[in-house]
Structure formats: structure tokens, C-alpha cells
Structure 1
């Protein structure tokens, strides 16, 4: 059974669940120690091509996948044959396998890989080094890895950490800094930042600027601001929305900010499957408002085929404020990566 992301994780002050936090804190100490030990003992495999890791410091959604899509787009626009790579969370295939949207389903390869494979060559592999090697053997000149900042099994040329930059309503990307399960952190902030080459702060389209207090945490690291923007207007007319992502409440906010006539919204756990009973209940709720149904692209690919005809997907894209600076970082770093034999790529 998948559980929804606790919203109280992201409250910086006056936590509404102090007893829960206290009970989970000893478990968080164990989690942090196990993570640190695993990182220290892992031997990295070099697949022979540059690897760009798009990772994060917290559990739950921060917007890594839209950043992966945009980084691959920039690399391919620069003439670099970039492939995506993921462990394929939620999929049954261990891989390495190249995702084919015509043949695979979200149950096979996971929802995010299936979504991204429509835009780029994309691989899933629970053994990440094997996946990177398979991509390289298939002609990839660079591999962009979705997630894996805490996984050092693949040698990374560039480690980019994505941070959710939305800090309103007393929400803070790192909560009070507690490590999972007492808070959202995968590892302590200082430890995670030490392995990052740069930070990407992702803002919603309607937030004017990043919080200076948040940016101050990343002093000494290059920081790039990106915005999550609608790739198309929301569906017209009244709508009932739903989403099963790390922070579903952010989809609700974004739809409303984009002008959607949103009558109701239902949150679900990240990566969760939608059974017929759930979808029928959503359809009845939409009928109550004489409304349509709208969800994210990531949720839409998890729907049964017959329901995709009844539910609209609302696409969003990440765009960098200083795209040229990101291109310089990518091309300069990757051009210095030595191929096997020591020659620059």
C-alpha cells in the first residue's frame, strides 16, 4: 500500500505532529547512518561516457523529471546524443531495457520513464551501471540519470541537485531538516550539498522570485533558477483535478494559478495505480459538477487505455531563467570528460 507524502514534513516551524516526529526521530538516525555508510562504501563504475545526475535531497516530489527532460533537450540541441536513465520505480522490468511507449506500460517500466520516452531515448535498469553501459553501447554520448544523488554506483560527471523553491504558507523545502521518516530529508543537508556540483531551484510559474534565505543555504555552489510552466492551457470549462505525485497539492495550486475552473481536487500517493473503482468515483464526482477530469502527464500514463480517452493530461515544462549559463555548464563539463583511453569526448 502506498502512502501519501505527509504535508507536515515541510512545515518549518510549529510542526503539527510533534509526537509523531519524536517517535520517528530514532528511526531517522538509523536511516541517516545506513545511507552514509552505503555512500562511503560504494565503488563507482565509469560507463565510458559522461553521466549527468539529476538528484535531490528529499523524498517526495521536487520536479526532477521535468528537469531531466529539459537537460536532455538542451544536450540534444547542442548536438550531443543524450539518453535518459532511471531505475524504473514502480515497473516490473529489471532491465536494462530501452523504453518503447508503443510496447511498454507504466506497470512495465514505471510512469516517469514511460512519459519521458516519448521525447528521448530512455532506459530503465535497477542496476544503474548496467543501464548506463547499455545506453553507451547503443550510441549514447551522454547519460542523464533521473534520481541517484545518494547512489554512487555510477561515476558521475556532473551532479545537479533539484530543490523545490516554493516557500510560501510556512512550507520549507527541507522542513525542519529532519531525515526520513521524521522529515523529508534523504540525508543531512550539508552532506548532500557537499557532493553536488550545482543546485537547481525550481519555482512555480506564479512565484515572482526565490526566497533569499533559501538561496543563502547554497552559497559557494552555482545556483540556477528554473520555472515549471504550463506547456498548454488547462482544459476549458469546469474541471475536477487529481494527482498522485510527491506533492499533489502543488498541482492543485498550479492548475488554479493557470486559470483552471477547478471545482474539486483529489490527492493520491506518488506512483500509485488507479483501479476501476477509484476512477469511477472520480467520474461521479466530476458529474456532480458537470465537469471534466484533468490530471498530470505522469498520472495520465498510469491510466487504463479506456480512461485516457475520458481524462485530459495537463503538460508542464521546466525552463531555465538563464538557459545560456546552463548550456555552458553542460557543454564545458561534458567536453572535458575523458573517454576510455584518456581522450576527451
Structure 2
């Protein structure tokens, strides 16, 4: 889906939809408060404050990289949004899989650690242990409460914040703001926008700052090039901003809904646009895995960097130590 503009600010549409938002918020508040089973492995849950685009998946990848360097073997649990596989769940993503069968996010996650797809998180956790994982990271799971977390991290896009502050469909929140913050052990604020800073300052939770940055080698290769950016992600404008930061000349940009499946018409339109502007097509890693090899395009990978990685590492280490001690006792 593509986020409507009225999710950003209070308006007629959000007010008309507010009764539905109140019902949705009440239901999710109950879900957040319910007890969930505990996995046999330490469990880190990552949740996005709003419906897409907060930076949840880049955070999961950054955490996995950090923990791998510490000798851990994380398993990344995902529901595989957009998958079309008839395979029995849960299953581990393999190098032979593609985005159409396992989902684009699952495929991206599998490039960094063991990725397991399954709607039953407890079953996925059991499979992770069988496959030698030492801990679990749930890409989404804060609001659904399928597994009890040992550490809950809530991701906030600093430019977007909580949008208009209303729950779906009247606004972008996946649950009432105060309920989500209460359920989180710490906040990860991505970017330097005022909305995220204000939100973080208003709650008594540990806050870790992070920034999205283009991969240096890929960014250097785009410097000075005429490019057309296209993206089917939660907030495409974030990608277009990163593309401009490389020093490329962005002559056009095209947005598609999140997880968009590009058809022949889309591809023909993009190629015609590239010819018309004599420019190179550039997209995100998430979109690239959904594209056919025949499309002549380049990819701009991004990564998440923490302002104080040592402080976050200490928080992770403490949470994992507590989790392991509690499972021994």
C-alpha cells in the first residue's frame, strides 16, 4: 500500500476515519498487553511505530551484523510478507529462493544471517534452535505479541514521527502511541528530524540514535550520473533523498506501493523514461530482488549506523545475559 498524505497531518479524512482508528487502537492495546509464550532462545523483538517505512528491516540487519561480530548466531524471524510459496512453514530461506516465493524482506535478511519464514513464531523459534541459532531477532512482532521479548526495540523515523498521532486507518500508528512506547524497552530514532526528537524527549525510555547512509562504493559510482530513482517501499522519499546525497543528478523519480510487484507495463514505462532522459535507473535493494534481470538498472544499498554503537552493544549484552540466566534458573 501507499501511505496517504493525510496520515501526516490532522485533516477531514483522518477525522472521518477516527472512529475506526479508535476501534483498531483498542484492539491492538489489548493485544499488546496479553501474555505471550517465551522461546527457549533469547529473543529480541523489533517493531515499527507506524505502518511501514520506519526502518525496521535495516535495523534488524544492523543488529544481526553487530551480534555476528560478537560470535552469536542470530536467527531472523519474519512472516515473509508478499510470499507466494506453498511450502510448509516454518522454513529457512536458502540461496535458491527468490522474492516471489519467500518475500522480498526475507530474501534480504537471509543475506546477513539465518532467516526463517513462518506465521507461527513459536514454531519458527523451535526451528531456529534446531538449526543452531543462539538467539532470535523478530523482524516485526512488538504489536502482535506472538513471543515474549527479552528486549523490545521500537523504531521511529525522525522525520515522520507518529504522523498525525492516530491509529489505522485514520493515521499510521499500528497501536496507540503510549501503549507502544510502554511495551518498548528502548527507542531507536533514525535520522535527525524534529518529530522523532520531540517524541523521544517526551518519554522516559532509553533512546539510541541512528542514521541511514548509502553504501560508499555504490554511492561513489553514482556521483555525477544522470539517474532516475524508483522505489516501492514504505516511504520512497527517503530513498530519493539518499540517492541525491550520492551526488547523482536525479532527473526524475517514480514511487510505487510498498512490496509492489512490477509488471510488464511498469518495466516498459521505466525503460522509456530512462531513454527519454538519457539516464540510469536506480532502485533499492528491496526492490531489486523483485525485478527481472532483463531490466537494466542499478542498485543503491543503504546501511544503518548508530551514533553510539557501544551503548547499544552494552544494552544488547545485558539483555542477552539476563535472558540466558533466566532460562538456566
TM-score relative to the length of structure 1: 0.89
In 2, Cα distance between the equivalents of 1:208 and 1:180? 23
- Aligned residue number for residue 209 of structure 2: 225
* Pairwise CA RMSD: 1.8
1:213 lines up with 2:198 in the alignment: yes
Shift of 1:214: 3.1
The number of residue pairs the alignment matches comes to: 323
* TM-superposition CA deviations, 1:308-341 (whole Å, max 9, x none): xx1111000001110111111111110121378x
- Aligned residue number for residue 169 of structure 1: none
1:47 lines up with 2:39 in the alignment: yes
**CA, structure 1 residues 197+263, in 2 after alignment: closer, same or farther (shift >3 Å)?**
same
The secondary structure found in structure 2 opposite 1:150 is coil
| Aligned counterpart for 1:333 among listed residues 311, 315, 319 | 319
* TM-superposition CA deviations, 1:77-105 (whole Å, max 9, x none): 111111111111111246211111x3211
| Aligned counterpart for 1:250 among listed residues 234, 238, 243 | 238
Pairs within 5 Å for 1:1-345 = 3-11=1-9, 15=10, 18-41=11-34, 43-93=35-85, 95-100=89-94, 102-166=95-159, 172-203=160-191, 207=192, 212-218=197-203, 220-231=204-215, 232-233=218-219, 235-236=222-223, 237-307=225-295, 310-338=296-324, 342-343=327-328
Say whether the 8 Å CA contact 2:64–2:112 is kept in structure 1: no
In 1, Cα distance between the equivalents of 2:139 and 2:249? 33
Say whether the 8 Å CA contact 2:187–2:200 is kept in structure 1: no
Structure 2: runs of 5 or more not aligned:
none
Shift of 1:305: 2.9
The secondary structure found in structure 2 opposite 1:262 is strand
* TM-superposition CA deviations, 1:260-294 (whole Å, max 9, x none): 21110000000110011101100100111101100
Q: Would you tell me which structure has more helix in proportion to its own residues?
A: 2
**CA, structure 1 residues 38+333, in 2 after alignment: closer, same or farther (shift >3 Å)?**
closer
**CA, structure 1 residues 180+210, in 2 after alignment: closer, same or farther (shift >3 Å)?**
closer
In 1, Cα distance between the equivalents of 2:149 and 2:280? 44
Structure 1: runs of 5 or more not aligned:
167-171
